[in-house]
Amino acid sequence: MEIEEGGVTVEIEDARDGASEGRTDDVFYNPEMELNRDVTVATLRAYADREGRAETYLDAMAASGVRGTRAAAEGWAVTCADVEPESVELAARNLADYDGCEAVERDANALLHADFFDVVDVDPYGSPIPFADAAVAGTRNLLCVTATDTAPLCGAHFDAGVRRYSTVPRNTDYHPEMGLRVLLSALVRRAASRDKAATPVCSHVSRHYARTYLELDASASAANDRLDDLGHVHHCQDCLEREHEYGLHADPPEACPHCGSNRLVIAGPLWLGRVADPEFADSVREHVTDDMGTAKRARKLLETVSDELDTPTHYDQHRLCELWNRPASGMDEFVETLRSAGFDASRAHYAGTALKSDATIAEMREATADLG
């Protein structure tokens, strides 16, 4: 059957719901990942403006080849790779009208150790970590990564998170951000091991996956600078306050400095730096076009990503109001009240009730007391 996505007509084998575009069993195409693909296309447009020499694009787990075909329609020299012959045949048919594009039956790790691409897109079923080393090795400019194993990432499946990402994840109120920062930490460290600096230029968490775009720089000194953005979060399970410290070695307090509780959990090493470059995220938003099926959602998401405060955790307003035993007000009113009280505050893209602020929980409670 044929479908149209983002103004491009592609042939697909099947359309079923699932957690990833990557193939599992006979799933070739996942309509639930259209937002992911729309933002990818907008990112490729914005990155073409940023780095005019970038030309080649690898869809490392092509499945139906929809993502790669949409990149080809943007003028990229696309290679779609997959280990399944049926996927390769389907991707080849979708790429047939685009010169300089091809579909190959290759394992992603083998291909990325053998060749280089300006932009590499890794969107597997589950964790991207088995492909991280090869992806870093084979990427010249921009590495695009999706992770769908959100339970290990956010600490809900603790042991799996430790094994896969070589860090300590914690299941907190800000679990979507925890997952993204665990993923970024792992990727930044893998890149640094190859003397490459990986800098997030755009990232988001949507439904059941985390997605990030990392600009790579082949510089050992720059890689050292990125490692300086790693650290740990200390989270109090009683008062919900959290603090962070930079460095690969954690030095947590013995008790919560806010309430004295000894029920502190430590997460890390996490990425504590920006998850996006605000100017680049704005550029991505400007490259979202009305022919995209998720244009409204994508623009709203990217606007929030661009405006987010640069803090490594977020708060859930409903959880705070539950802690304070009072009803929740409107989110915009809550954020604006914090700003009027002299604090920095913004909405966060992770959820409709997520916010960021430099105020402590006690300061937020006092500043918004009249709202309750």
- Reported as a single tens digit per residue, the pLDDT across 114-152 is 999 999 999 999 999 999 999 999 999 999 999 999 999
- Calpha distance 22→35 (Å, rounded): 15
Which amino acid makes up residue 47?
Y
> Are the C-beta atoms of 119 and 178 separated by less than 8 Å?
no
Q: Measured between alpha carbons, how far is 33 from 66 in angstroms, rounded to an integer?
A: 11
pLDDT tens-digit series, residues 243-295: 999 999 999 999 999 999 999 999 999 999 999 999 999 999 999 999 999 99
Q: How far apart are CA 172 and CA 238, in angstroms?
A: 12
Q: Which pLDDT tens digit goes with each residue over 160-177?
A: 999 999 999 999 999 999
Q: Which amino acid is at 162?
A: V
Judge whether 302 and 286 are in contact, CB under 8 Å.
no
Question: Could you give the C-alpha distances from 53 to 48, 76, 140, 213, 290, in angstroms and in order?
Answer: 8, 11, 11, 18, 27
Cis peptide before 252 (omega within 30 of 0): no
What is the rounded CA–CA span in Å between residue 124 and residue 106?
14
Pairing of strands 315-316, 77-82: unpaired
CB 261 within 8 A of CB 239: yes
pTM: 0.95
Report all structural domains of the chain as residue ranges with CATH numbers, in order of start. 2-307 (3.40.50.150), 315-371 (3.30.56.70)
Give every CB contact of residue 88 below 8 A, 6+ residues apart in sequence. 62, 80, 81, 82, 103, 104, 105
Average pLDDT in the chain: 94
